[in-house]
Amino acid sequence: MINKLETMKKKYLEIVNKLQSGNLDVKEMTKLMKQQSELVEIVDLYDSLVNKKKEQEELENILSNESDKDMIKLFEVELKSLQEKILGLENKLKMLMIPKDPNDNKNIIIEIKGAAGGDEGNIFAGDLYRLYSKYAESKGWKIEILNAMEGTKGGFTSIEFLVNGKGAFSKLKYESGVHRVQRVPSTESQGRIHTSTAVVLVLPEAEELEIDVNWDDVRFDTFNSSGPGGQSVNTTKSAVRLTHLPTGVVVSCQEGKSQHENREKAYKLLKARVYDKFLQEKNEEDSNIRKEIYGSGDRSEKIRTYNYPQNRVTDHRINLTLQRLDSIMDGKLDLLILPLLNEFQRKHLLET
């Protein structure tokens, strides 16, 4: 660990020198400042660790030459306290040195689609949208709907929305996958429990410096907005469809009041999807630890079951079951997210 820390400190000092040179363009300066902010806490803690270890060495030398019993006891107490501080600093550094996802502080785009179960799957997709909305509100994040298709009995056949807030991706990136619900649907006349699903996909919002989606590579189409069941809700072609020709990625938006507004929202969504396509290729090289705990994040992978009759929710990736479904659906999603993150950190530390 010490060798890694020395390397990180050397890199930090190189970054500081480059930033002080003044010979940088905006893109390079932004990149270096981001790297500096990621390293500064680790370097500060490492400097403290080095100083504490020097104090420990000096104190041990004093103890080895001390003959007074009272002074020995005093120095031993001080040494024990110092060793505890060193251990605390080492543990903090181990946690900070866990590889960070470069997307963690980004805004995100979430897509939720009703899947198995027909109308009940769509209704559950609406419940998940409310869950994420309440969670975002509790964090002080803002939500902007980019595109939505309502279900005929409520909820959504599909909804895509932007979550704007620091750390949004770090908290919600592992929500991707199949969410299963077990309950008596409002549409069920016999009181039977049904099993339905909704699919969630979480994408980091792409920044201009990271990906360039050129309008020359985008086909722009318009169409009439539609409501539940696909019926047209207006006679003007305000809805927008964008196709990124190099990758074949297609997005639509009809939530805005004008074609211009829909075009801007669709462009945000398009950039995120193209960026995600590139990320998926990179993620094939991700560590086995991440895949073991969180799974692949694939749409076909069942990650969680929500059992309403028993007020129970189970996250299958870490075998966690809580009898607090009502609280979780009210936005207290950290009850599930924090154990996921803690398990990842624990397993990573065991392998380092």
| Residue range 302-318, pLDDT digits in tens | 899 999 999 999 999 89
Question: Over 60: is that where the pLDDT of 200 sits?
Answer: yes
DSSP state of 107: -
Question: Mean pLDDT throughout 102-107?
Answer: 78
Torsion from C-alpha of 242, 281, 210, 292, nearest 10 degrees: 110
**Amino acid occupying residue 22:** G
Question: Mean pLDDT throughout 221-248?
Answer: 69
**pLDDT band at residue 99 under the 50/70/90 scheme:** low
| DSSP secondary structure, 176-242, as one string | -EEEEEEE--TT-SS---EEEEEEEEEEEPPPTTT----GGGEEEEEE--B-GGG-B--SS--EEEE
Using DSSP bridges, classify how beta strands 302-307 and 177-183 pair: parallel, antiparallel or unpaired: parallel
**pLDDT band at residue 110 under the 50/70/90 scheme:** very high
Question: Mean pLDDT throughout 169-187?
Answer: 87
- pLDDT recorded at residue 294: 43
Question: Over 50: is that where the pLDDT of 233 sits?
Answer: no
- pLDDT recorded at residue 292: 47
Question: Over 70: is that where the pLDDT of 290 sits?
Answer: no
- pLDDT recorded at residue 125: 94
- pLDDT recorded at residue 180: 93
Q: At a CB cut-off of 8 Å and minimum separation 6, what does 62 contact?
A: 75
Report how far apart the first and last C-alpha atoms of the chain are (Å, whole number). Answer: 9
- pLDDT recorded at residue 289: 39
pLDDT tens per residue, range 236-285: 567 888 888 888 888 888 877 788 888 888 888 888 888 777 766 655 55
- pLDDT recorded at residue 346: 74
Question: Over 60: is that where the pLDDT of 210 sits?
Answer: no
pLDDT tens per residue, range 151-175: 888 889 889 999 999 889 889 988 9
Chain position carrying tokens 């398009």:
270
- Of all residues in the chain, the percent with pLDDT exceeding 70 is 84
233-239 contact pairs (CB < 8 A, 24+): 238/262
Tell me the CA distances in angstroms from 54 to 44, 62, 79, one per residue in order.
16, 12, 12
List the single range of 47-56, 110-119, 321-330 with lowest mean pLDDT. 110-119
pTM equals 0.64
Across all residues in the chain, what is the average pLDDT? 82
Structure tokens at 287: 């560590």
Question: Measured on CA atoms in the order 117, 123, 129, 131, is the torsion positive or negative?
Answer: negative
Q: At a CB cut-off of 8 Å and minimum separation 6, what does 21 contact?
A: none
**pLDDT band at residue 350 under the 50/70/90 scheme:** low
List the single range of 50-64, 74-88, 99-113 with lowest mean pLDDT. 99-113
Question: Over 70: is that where the pLDDT of 296 sits?
Answer: no
SS3 content of the chain, % helix, strand, coil (to 5): 50, 20, 30
Structure tokens at 57: 């060495």
**Is residue 291 within 8 Å of 267, Cβ to Cβ?**
no
DSSP three-state, residue 43 = helix
Longest dimension (CA), the chain: 96
Structure tokens at 297: 């994040």
**pLDDT band at residue 141 under the 50/70/90 scheme:** very high
Q: Where are the domains of the chain?
A: 2-96, 108-345
Rg (CA), the chain: 26
User: What is the rounded CA–CA span in Å between residue 157 and residue 122?
Assistant: 5
Q: At a CB cut-off of 8 Å and minimum separation 6, what does 219 contact?
A: 242, 243, 245
- pLDDT recorded at residue 56: 93
- Quickly name the fold that domain 108-345 has: Alpha-Beta Plaits (3.30.70)
